[in-house]
Amino acid sequence: MRKKIVAGNWKMNLAVNEGEKLVKSILDRLPKLKENRQVVIAPPFTHLIQTYYQTESIAYLNLGAQNCYSEASGAYTGEVSAAMLSSVGVNYVILGHSERREYFNETNAMLTKKVNRALENNLEVIFCCGEPLEIRTNDTQNEYVSKQIQEGIFQLTAEQFKSISIAYEPIWAIGTGRTATTEQAQLMHAHIRSVIADKYGVDTANKVSILYGGSCKPNNAAELFACADVDGGLIGGAALKADEFLAIINAMMHS
Ligand code: PEP
């Protein structure tokens, strides 16, 4: 059975003491999860060590980072390497988020390098893809997302691909309160799985967790997670509120 994952992306929010309080409120009511159910908390870099100490004893609660650099080390002022993340107990890294693609000009070629560095350092990658509104309006989202995946992660061997989860995040749904319908999400997730099957075979494709992201909230998580090819969610805004994040975790737990 493939893993179901709820990952909280805090983006650039909360001071360290606020993050500490949020993690504490989550821990106070976090349900016990089975082995194939995982939660990831991805705070800003500055919060990682604190969050590591708060969560290290819970096997199904993972520490994630929101980015890493494409080079191993050296004169890259302001950047953080995959090895550094590993050294503070990070085990997941989100790569290719649409905000990084848009505001920091991350290309698929750059992301290929970042993914390689992450895997060299034993990090699990949550690789983000998703189309802007005009692509959805033209009904060319399948081609658009296929290209992001093919150019971003198809350099990997089938063995390496075991460390990849995909997050499908239609850009028009991120932070907008407008969610993809269950039908739109299921169709795209099935498409992504078929693209992976064409390259790596059905067995590998069936093992990849494909998360949905984009205004996933307590009131829509259960129906999204009930879709056959939706294996959890990448959560932005709702990950900053313990009650909402816990409700989404509960939806994943019962999916
Ligand atoms: C995200 O940024 O990954 C995201 C899904 O944000 P939100 O849940 O706020 O739409």
Q: Helices 141-153 and 108-120: crossing angle, nearest 10°?
A: 50
Q: Residue 35's pLDDT is what?
A: 87
211 lines ligand 1 (CB under 6 A): no
CA-wise closest residue to 91 among 60, 69, 46, 113: 60
pLDDT given for residue 234 in this prediction: 98
Q: Whose CA is nearest to atom 3 of ligand 1?
A: 236
**Cβ contacts of 19 within 8 Å, gap of 6 or more:** 10, 43, 44, 47, 50, 51
pLDDT beneath 50: ranges in the chain: none
Please pick, among 99, 124, 131, 169, the residue that the annotation labels catalytic: 169
For domain 4-253, give the fold: TIM Barrel (3.20.20)
Q: What is the CA radius of gyration of the chain?
A: 17
Q: Does ligand 1 lie within 6 Å of residue 9's CB atom?
A: yes
- In testing the pocket of ligand 1, which one of 235, 245, 248 has its CB within 8 Å of the most ligand atoms? 235
State the pLDDT at residue 175.
87
